[in-house]
Amino acid sequence: MINRYALVPLAGLCAVCVGCGSSSQSTASRLPLNAYLVKGREETGLEAPPNTTVFQTVAQWASGGNGQGQDPGDVQRLTREGFREAMSVNTAGVGPGLSWVIELSSAGAATHEQAAELAESINGASGVKRFTVSGIPNADGFTFYPGAASNVLFTEGRCVMLVGAAAGSASKPAVTAGVRAIWARTHNKPSVCSG
């Protein structure tokens, strides 16, 4: 299992940025992949640095930055889903946090990856509570250890994202704010994720 997901209380993080794909719109008018990462202080109580880590291959994503090594099942699944690129950023402040995005070949692949990431994150974990983020129909939120760490997985087009924080009781409000900021900036806008 690749522990890029939520902080349990803190696992590695990755963000994915996939190639732009074809579109009749110029790339200058489309949002880049890094628009799907938290910026500045969007994750309440935490701050994202301006630099991100970019993963251009499945192997880099599976082994990069998380210290967990490659899981052949994850590599095979992401390859089948048409992995293009990924990006991640660590946030810090009242606790450590993360934001990552993965661009895949289709919206269906992104939905499938969201479900797989959620299952890997919560199956067998103790103290998990699920929550929703109002206004974001496909968001899957979950907390560990009575509020010690919270994460939200969601999709936009062919991209799947995660925002996470291990900030005690502040973790759920922090990740919810980060998700809402990303959604407001990107939802239904021309981008690498919308193809």
Is there a domain that residue 4 lies in?
Answer: no
C-alpha 110/C-alpha 106 separation (Å) is 6
Residue 166 belongs to domain with CATH number:
3.40.1000
What's the pTM?
0.84
Residue 161 token pair: 């994202």
7-39 tens-digit pLDDT: 443 333 333 333 333 333 445 689 999 999 999
Place of tokens 């992949």: 33
Is there a domain that residue 7 lies in?
Answer: no
103-114 tens-digit pLDDT: 999 999 999 999
Give residue 50's pLDDT.
85
Is there a domain that residue 6 lies in?
Answer: no
Q: What is the mean pLDDT of residues 67-77?
A: 70
128-173 tens-digit pLDDT: 999 999 999 899 999 987 668 999 999 999 999 999 999 888 899 9
The rounded mean pLDDT for the chain is 82
C-alpha 37/C-alpha 126 separation (Å) is 28
Give the residue numbers spanning the domain of 103: 27-186
Is there a domain that residue 158 lies in?
Answer: yes
Q: What is the mean pLDDT of residues 99-106?
A: 96
Is there a domain that residue 50 lies in?
Answer: yes
Place of tokens 């919810």: 176
Find out whether the peptide bond into 137 is cis, omega within 30 degrees of 0: no
Give residue 187's pLDDT.
94
Is there a domain that residue 5 lies in?
Answer: no
Domain count, the chain: 1
Is there a domain that residue 82 lies in?
Answer: yes
